[in-house]
Amino acid sequence: MTENKFEFRIEPLGKAHDRAAFSCGIAALDNYLITQARQDVEKRVSAVFICTPDVRTVAGFYTLSQYSVNVGALPERVARKLPKYPEVPTSLLGRLAVSEQFRGQGLGEHLLIDALYRCLRQSKEIASAAVVVDAKDANAASFYQHYGFIGFPGIADRLFLPMKTIQAMFEGKQSQRR
């Protein structure tokens, strides 16, 4: 098995991926991939991306969809910089998991960076003010906090990263002034 995370491709969920063998230790995430993910893709409610070293093995996955956030749910210092609309469009990174077999070699980061970059690219065609994540527990929340995600006040385990921050990560601060 390769140990270089960049040798793991990230591609849309397809028939060749062996979903049944996936195990990340959180039953809800395993069951989602095994029983629900294909239907969600077919019904266009989630886009599912698989991280694989060989086209078949599922080393990790994430899901993306569009999501509307009530501006009142955001921290005041963030909300006051937004236009006075009741809701803002965002991108929802609903699930992200790495198989227990592949933990601790940078694949969680590889998936997260891929998801953030995909959201940034999409936001240039269909606007999105932030990436929102649903962390399944405090441990998952701390993974996202490690990358600068900010908690929603009063909503346990829901966090966000402003798209401007993501743009600065990939394109540098200069590009924001264009």
Residues annotated catalytic, as ranges = 144
88 to 127: interface string for ligand COA, x by CB under 6 A: -------xxxx----xxxxxxx------------------
* ∠ Cα 166 25 56 (to 5°): 75
Other Cβ atoms within 10 Å of 38 Cβ, number: 16
Asked if 142 is part of the footprint of ligand COA (rule: CB under 6 A), the reply reads yes
Collapse the DSSP code of 32 into the 3-class scheme (helix H, G, I; strand E, B; otherwise coil) and give the result.
helix
Judged by beta carbon, residue 57 or residue 82, the one nearer ligand COA is 57
Collapse the DSSP code of 57 into the 3-class scheme (helix H, G, I; strand E, B; otherwise coil) and give the result.
coil
Residue 65 in contact with residue 105, Cβ under 8 Å? Answer: no
Interface with ligand COA in residues 17-46 (CB under 6 A): 24-26, 29
Find the binder of ligand COA among 56, 121, 124, 146 (CB under 6 A).
146
Shortest reach from residue 9's CB to ligand COA, in Å: 16
Strands 60-70 and 47-52: antiparallel
Residue 61 in contact with residue 37, Cβ under 8 Å? Answer: yes
Shortest reach from residue 164's CB to ligand COA, in Å: 23
Residues that bind ligand COA (CB under 6 A): 24-26, 29, 95-98, 103-109, 135-136, 139-140, 142-143, 146
